[in-house]
Amino acid sequence: MKAISGDPSGLLAARSLRLCGGPDRGGSGGREFEVNAAQRSGGCAVFSLKGIETLEAARELVGARVFVRREELPPPGEDEYFVADLVGCAVIAADGVPIGRVAGVVNGRAHDWLEIRRSGGGEALLPVVSEFVREVNVAGRRIVVTPPEGWLDAS
């Protein structure tokens, strides 16, 4: 499993995984699996799961979405956040003007992007870099930004 953060170390402590979807099954439903063993391999976490004993059984899970219980993950580090905590946060310009709400986070090679559903309609992407994202207050459900010139005017 490849970690969204790029570092799978925190996933290795998981005692169970929920796998949903996969080839020709969509994203619904899912099964919970107990973890027998876990190890890091390159930029991924590799798991041995109870009940998955053959290569054929493992192939059936290729492409599945993998979920880990929050309580089984280490807390995020400084300036790190769980994507689930950012979704729904209000996005406000540094001058107090409401911009919209976080609809999602898109992973990029150089940095991530906030997918923002704008208050006036439409969606826009804002790079998650310190130049533009000034403050993240998860408890207060708000993110203060100073977007690049012209970004607020773009549709």
User: The pTM is what?
Assistant: 0.75
Contact between 49 and 34 (Cβ < 8 Å): yes
In a 13 Å sphere around the CA of 46, the CA atoms on its Cβ side amount to 6
Class of the CATH-defined domain 83-145: mainly beta
User: How many other CB atoms are there within 10 angstroms of residue 68's CB atom?
Assistant: 19
Judged by DSSP in three states, 83 sits in helix
User: Strand ranges (DSSP E) for the chain?
Assistant: 16-20, 31-41, 44-49, 65-67, 90-93, 98-106, 113-118, 123-127, 133-137, 142-145
Distance CA 135, CA 112 (A): 16
Percent of the chain past pLDDT 70, that is, above it, reads 90
Query: pLDDT per residue over 66-114, tens digit each?
Result: 888 889 888 888 888 988 999 999 999 999 999 999 999 998 888 999 9
Residue 26 has pLDDT above 70, yes or no: no
Among 10-19, 57-66, 67-76, 122-131, name the most confident range. Answer: 122-131
pLDDT, residue 79, reads 85
Q: What is the mean pLDDT of residues 127-140?
A: 96
- Domain segments of the chain as ranges: 8-72, 83-145
pLDDT-derived band at 37, boundaries 50, 70, 90 = very high
User: How many other CB atoms are there within 10 angstroms of residue 89's CB atom?
Assistant: 20
pLDDT, residue 6, reads 67
Mean pLDDT of the chain: 88
Q: What is the mean pLDDT of residues 30-41?
A: 92
Residue 57, H or E segment: helix 55-59
pLDDT-derived band at 128, boundaries 50, 70, 90 = very high
